A and B are shown apart, each in its own frame.
Chain A
Amino acid sequence: MIQKAGILITVLLLIGAGLFAMNGKRVVEYSSQQFLMDTLVTIKVYGKDREQLRSAVNEAFAEMRHIAELSDRFPKPGSPAFLASDVCKINQMAGKQPVHVQPDTLAMLAMAQHYAELTGGAFDSTIGPVMDLWSFGSDTPSVPNPSSVQKALALVDWRAVVLDQVAGTVYLKKPGMKLDLGAVAKGYATEKASRLLQQRGIVSGLLDAGGNIRTIGINTAHKPWKIGIKDPRMAGKLAAVVTVQDASAVTSGDYYRSFEQDGLRYHHLINPHTGYPARHTRSSTVLTKDAGVADILSTAFFILPPDQALQLAEKLDGVDLVLITADGALRYTRPLQNRIIQENATGQPDDQRR
């Protein structure tokens, strides 16, 4: 009996030692922030080797910086940043000749063209001339006069972008056309960074590029990530909370980059068909795997009338949509019914004048 008990106690000690060894390397968090693409980017990853996490995150930031350089539209002509920007080179050669670009630029534009067609031009990467008129980034943004809006709109045409995948070139057919990858590049860069982290063995993490969220795997509590959707009218409040697993959540809202004139707010989400801010919606949040797709679709679904946006989202595989419309209603695609874990009341209806 005593001998048997001794054997069993030894077995127990061995099991304990094994579990202790397994537990020896605890899961650690590594988090880092950088200002990139006019926003604050935070990457938070979890694993057992801090040095491996740090090195992977640094690589991910480098990848994002590269995409930021390729898509930067505003450096001074002739500056090193201008020479590094494919978008600047393409815009400079509009109506003149095709420009050789990096594979990432071609990939971003191929995606942009696909969704421009799918959304009937509600998303259009050639919106540059209209965005310049509104000059939301300047010290004195103002409502442009209707004739200059009409003139600029004549240059907005995604069908006049010629991509040559074999030659690796991009050509804008009309002189004066300008690409603006503002609604593509941040999501594309976030997705690339996320894939790089996964290639480096990261199985749990969260990338937050100014509110463009990409999650990797599940969180450290072994549950899907809980992502809040900002209330468009009440600071610090959430309109809803959704669960996300190994996927993205990207929002386009009318509360950023906006100004007031004659008592009306004008925001940067310009309808490529009218040249003026779209007014049906306060915010559009797209939930889907790829952060680049989510970025483009959140803009397109903001521009489209809510019914049309929801119908289109339900047709697309693996795409979900949450809209907060101008009347303050929260609407979402049917499969989200099980993933929305909290809904809060939103504010009063908006003024519908232009």
Chain B
Amino acid sequence: MTRGDKLLLILVVLAAICSGIAILAHRHTPAPAASVCHAVVSVNSQPVARFVLSSGRALEEHTIRGPNGNAVLQTENGRIRMASSPCRDKLCVKHGWISKPGESIICLPERIVVRIEGQGEVDAVTR
């Protein structure tokens, strides 16, 4: 084997190792975060609406039909909240605004879940 052969062999092996690492690393690279957030609303685990949350947007109201009547969601300036709900405890209304990926508002009596899409700073929250 000449010196040139050895050099070629080293180059080829290095190229193979580098491309292998690149492919394997790419497998586990999460998709880049979207620049605009979306809030997904589901009732009884079925998605019923999806709202864009972007900064600077004016206040808008959205009516969601739950099992015991209508709930009203408000979106404004990149955030969303439950403004009113027919539920008894109003925990969802008291929750206030959410704006970060992974955050959610849950109304158990009305079976309504509002979740901002995307990966949050943690995988889950114990509460």
Contact = CB atoms under 8 A, between A and B. Distances in A.
Interface stretch (B8-16, B48-56, B57-65, B68-76): B8-16
B124 A227 contact: yes
Contacts of A40: 106, 108, 113
Contact-size category for A:
35 or more
Main secondary structure of the interface of B (DSSP, over half): mixed
Contacts of B23: 19-20, 23
A19 B16 CA distance: 10
Contact of B126 (A20, A34, A38, A212): A212
A241 B102 CA distance: 15
A62 interface: no
Contacts of A139: 88
Interface residues of B, number: 38
B30 interface: yes
A1 B7 CA distance: 12
Contact of A228 (B19, B106, B122): B122
Interface in A17-55: 19-20, 23, 26-27, 32-35, 38-40
Nearest to B99: A236
Contacts of A206: 123-124
B32 to A, nearest CB: 14
A19 B127 CA distance: 42
B77 interface: no
Interface string A221-264: 11001111110000110100100000001110100100000000
25 contacts: A1-B2, A1-B5, A4-B5, A4-B8, A12-B12, A15-B19, A19-B24, A23-B27, A33-B42, A35-B111, A39-B108, A40-B106, A211-B126, A215-B124, A221-B30, A222-B28, A226-B122, A228-B126, A230-B125, A235-B94, A235-B95, A236-B103, A238-B125, A241-B121, A249-B126
Interface of B: 1-2, 4-5, 8-9, 12, 15-16, 19-20, 23-24, 26-28, 30, 42, 44-45, 88, 94-96, 98, 100, 103, 106, 108, 111, 113, 121-127
Interface of A: 1, 4-5, 8-9, 11-12, 15-16, 19-20, 23, 26-27, 32-35, 38-40, 139, 206, 208, 210-213, 215, 219-222, 225-230, 235-236, 238, 241, 249-251, 253, 256, 285
